[in-house]
Amino acid sequence: MTDSLFTPFSLRETTIPNRVMLSPMCQYSAEEGMPNEWHRVHLGTRAVGGAGVVMTEATGVERRGRITPGCLGIWSDEQAAALEPITAFVRSQGAVPAIQLAHAGRKASHAPPSEGGHALPADHADGWETISATDEPYPDEEPAATRRMDGDDVEEVIDAFAAAAERALSAGFEIAEVHAAHGYLLHQFLSPVTNDREDAYGGSFENRTRLVREVVEAVRGVWPDDKPVFVRISATDWLPDRDSWDVDDSVRLAPLLADAGADLIDVSGGGIHPDQELPNAGPGYQVPYAEAIREGTDVPVAAVGGITEPTHADALVRNGRADLVALGRELLRHPYWPLEAAHELGAEVEWPVQYRRGRFE
């Protein structure tokens, strides 16, 4: 039988009820990294709406790893405890709770988009020192100083990812995703645009990919054997006129990530530099990147990028172009999209008992 959007998907011993995944979407609503009622309702609503995987926003493994002061964190046991009732509710609705473990690197210490998104220097009341593969700050009208990481910093970051994964497990998450995309810290090591190092973490492809491989190994080392680990990557920097990370690099990286313990590659693009040349953002504009990785490596993939129509999402799975379909903005607009998509596609899905009066006849 051909797999479809509403065919269950198993990785290790974890079964995802369908192929729809809530893509990580920053909410800028936490205080000192602590989740609150907004996060409970935001994530819980998507579980009620039928998404197979409900994933948190980028969740800082260190305080200095947050993108903004309002970003979620999991560097403390208190944060993990506050996430526990959220994961319990997500599971109660039949969805699989997932967390994106993240470190923003030189793209940390920024104001939220609603306040302009500009850099917050370390001496700002809400700012802090950022770290990166380089000492070149992220380009901004008033860029904040960035410190090049030394060996101790590298070890601290690896340990922070592992500790965060342990806390995520205690909080009830079933999938851990390592964020290595969108110009954040691990991507800063991958891309020659930002990695100007001359040590074991810079220069060659092997060296530039070393940190993300070590982070995935560290997360896999504390994550149970029966639960999957995802990695989100930017398949390309969208900087064709300079030495940069591209799709061929991503195809080459994917099996190395699998060897390190990754079970699925969540494929996105861009974010390393504001001069990126964005492609025409039509429906499924990033799907070819996921398809290239799936065809070139046999590693399962999630596809993202302007996917809004149920028939389109279903075709991606039926035609073997993706194993999961990640929806971001569309699930912000339509949190019950999976239930409506199932009706349009003629698939039988379980509605919450409280909402069964709303089922389509």
pLDDT digits (tens, 9 = 90+) for 200-232: 999 999 999 999 999 999 999 999 999 999 999
- Mean of pLDDT values over 240-260: 97
Residues tagged active-site: 184
The answer to whether residue 1 scores a pLDDT higher than 80 is no
Supply the angle between the helices 151-170 and 77-92 in degrees, to the nearest 10: 40
Q: For the chain, give the mean pLDDT.
A: 97
Q: CB-hemisphere CA count at 13 Å for 107?
A: 24
The partner residues of 96 in beta bridges, in order of sequence, read: 53
DSSP 171-209: TT-SEEEEEE-TTSHHHHHH-TTT----STTSSSHHHHT
pTM over 0.95: yes
pLDDT of 140:
86
Percent of the chain with pLDDT over 90: 95
3-state helix, strand, coil in the chain (%, to 5): 35, 15, 45
Give residue 164's pLDDT band: very low, low, confident or very high (50, 70, 90): very high
- Mean of pLDDT values over 264-289: 95
> 10 Å Cβ neighbour count for 354?
8
**Spatial distance between the Cα atoms of 245 and 236, rounded to a whole number of angstroms:** 5
pLDDT in tens, 6-59: 999 999 999 999 999 999 999 999 999 999 999 999 999 999 999 999 999 999
**Spatial distance between the Cα atoms of 165 and 123, rounded to a whole number of angstroms:** 31
- Mean of pLDDT values over 319-335: 98
User: Lowest-pLDDT range, 64-78, 81-95, 248-262, 278-292?
Assistant: 278-292
pLDDT of 354:
95
pLDDT in tens, 72-130: 999 999 999 999 999 999 999 999 999 999 999 999 999 999 999 999 988 899 999 99
Give residue 141's pLDDT band: very low, low, confident or very high (50, 70, 90): confident
User: Considering the domain 9-345, what is its CATH architecture?
Assistant: Alpha-Beta Barrel (3.20)
Residue listed under structure tokens 């064709």: 240
DSSP character for 100?
Answer: E
The answer to whether residue 288 scores a pLDDT higher than 70 is yes
Sign of the torsion angle spanned by Cα atoms 128, 32, 118, 164: positive
pLDDT of 143:
82
